[in-house]
Structure 1
């Protein structure tokens, strides 16, 4: 496994190419993140969901191929382990002072190309923490593509898929513009999301204003803007889908998460 340092805060932010990830966990590059105080803000391969890989672009159903890993929800059967796992292969990479830019192939289990991706990851160190931005442009360069989730396939509430952040927190306080608690945030289009763990806090924002937040705090704590919620998302051949997640990684809960999110949104 190769690990790239992304910036002067490399002791806190590392990018892994995912080459040694088990095939049933949908191999893909991922980030591991710590706060300025060296507290872990991501979890990789936890016992409850071994296919959760820190921060990654993970979608459960792309033309029936899993880029999420683990089991697949099948209507009438539940979650079953299928031989449908894809992988993300890095085609090229450029690194600079504040981040990395990659071109990737999304490859099906039969070796077919489903998507091209242009990915940019940047990190900045501020007075109150570390800002992480992950931006992906998915390109249907090999034919039409359909994105789904367990919810679109029949499992209510399980609309995860997109840029997904798995935390190591056992419990967390959740806040958003629509109220406090996971029930208020899950499915919300709030312009900001705050996840306060025992020893670290995360404030998230996104340019994907049409993608509701997937938020879970029972069993594990994880979140991300969701690609497919009320129905499958379609891309015609040649079309593009932009994904974006910006997160301030803090050592303590912010008094005003909305102002932190506005700062994140203003960064280019």
Structure 2
């Protein structure tokens, strides 16, 4: 630890900064790049191009996301992804269909960036907001979305919180049923929503719930938050990821999709086991907080991190309303 780091440890003065390009925004915390958000994706159509966060890093610089893993090329760090949006796939890859398993269909949609609405730092928080348009593979406009995220350092300097909000407007002219592979008949595979894919070294890591429960048995259970503790190759450091569902979300507390084997992943899945009808000309709001922390966490620390994230969710993420 150098002198500057010692100073930050004893008397943390968090320095947020950001850099904007034509397709992404990077946020640094005390000189460390902790978040990169690609808002103009250029992935192949079969991967359902959509905005994503990668890399995400802890305050000390440990990577906690993976991009285009060879087993699922459409997994992109942390991303808002919906595999069963009516007949369309805004997740990427093949689609699961009852009685037919996974199959490649001409239904991979995309989320196109339209314009930036807000980008900057105020009150110790970085905020980014933009408009998107969801288009089917045939080019039909189905959703107009306003998406906002905020990045807030913790007081002690060992973690930071990402607050994510999406406001989706159904402009397709018809009701849309949002579901998952489980609503199509695949047991305990209700993924879809804000989905995090961890680095390879997190395989075999610990999944921990609010009441001390642990393990993959938590997949499909309901809880206000869920955490994952994993260890890094090369440095042997440990990091903690904790995701919180906003109590105002329609499906709160959500069912969770999570795995430790054969890879690390986690996400609140609001459409896990039952389809939700997204009525025409209505707006669907969903908000989440994700804490990214250095070090391992016991139940007491996880409770504190969850309290911090919940507190951040009480505030307004952005100033733009849809």
TM-score by length of 2: 0.79
- The answer to whether residue 124 in structure 2 is matched with residue 96 in structure 1 is no
- The answer to whether residue 163 in structure 2 is matched with residue 108 in structure 1 is no
Structure-2 separation of matches of 1:95 and 1:155: 41
Could you tell me which of 13, 16, 22 is aligned with 2:35? 13
Cα deviation, 1:120-163, whole Å, max 9, x if unaligned, reads 11111222212111111111123222101101011111100011
SS in 2 for 1:53: coil
Task: Tell me the equivalent position of 2:296.
Answer: 253
How far apart are residue 253 of structure 1 and its match? 1.9
For residues 70-85 of structure 1, the aligned pairs below 5 Å read 70-85=93-108
Task: Tell me the equivalent position of 1:202.
Answer: 241
Cα contact 2:227–2:240 (8 A) shared by 1: yes
SS in 1 for 2:90: coil
Task: Tell me the equivalent position of 1:192.
Answer: 225
> 61-70 vs 202-211, which deviates more?
202-211
Distance 1:23 1:122, change over 3 A: same
Cα contact 1:45–1:53 (8 A) shared by 2: yes
> 43-52 vs 137-146, which deviates more?
137-146
Task: Tell me the equivalent position of 1:156.
Answer: 187
SS in 1 for 2:224: coil
Structure-1 separation of matches of 2:215 and 2:289: 19
How far apart are residue 233 of structure 1 and its match? 0.7
- The answer to whether residue 25 in structure 2 is matched with residue 4 in structure 1 is yes
Structure-1 separation of matches of 2:145 and 2:307: 27
TM-score by length of 1: 0.94
SS in 2 for 1:66: strand
Q: Structure 1: which 5+ runs fail to align?
A: none
The structure that has the greater radius of gyration is 2
- The answer to whether residue 260 in structure 2 is matched with residue 230 in structure 1 is no
> 2-11 vs 19-28, which deviates more?
2-11
Cα deviation, 1:151-198, whole Å, max 9, x if unaligned, reads 101111110001111111222101102443333421222222110001
Task: Tell me the equivalent position of 1:175.
Answer: 208
How far apart are residue 8 of structure 1 and its match? 4.5
Cα deviation, 1:233-264, whole Å, max 9, x if unaligned, reads 10111222222221111111223212211111
Aligned residues: 268
Could you tell me which of 105, 109, 129 is aligned with 2:159? 129
Cα contact 1:6–1:122 (8 A) shared by 2: no
Cα contact 2:192–2:272 (8 A) shared by 1: no
Cα deviation, 1:45-98, whole Å, max 9, x if unaligned, reads 001111000111100011111110011112222111112100001111121110
Cα contact 2:224–2:253 (8 A) shared by 1: no
Structure-2 separation of matches of 1:131 and 1:252: 15
TM-align CA RMSD: 1.7
For residues 44-55 of structure 1, the aligned pairs below 5 Å read 44-55=67-78
Structure-2 separation of matches of 1:178 and 1:186: 15
Cα contact 1:176–1:190 (8 A) shared by 2: yes
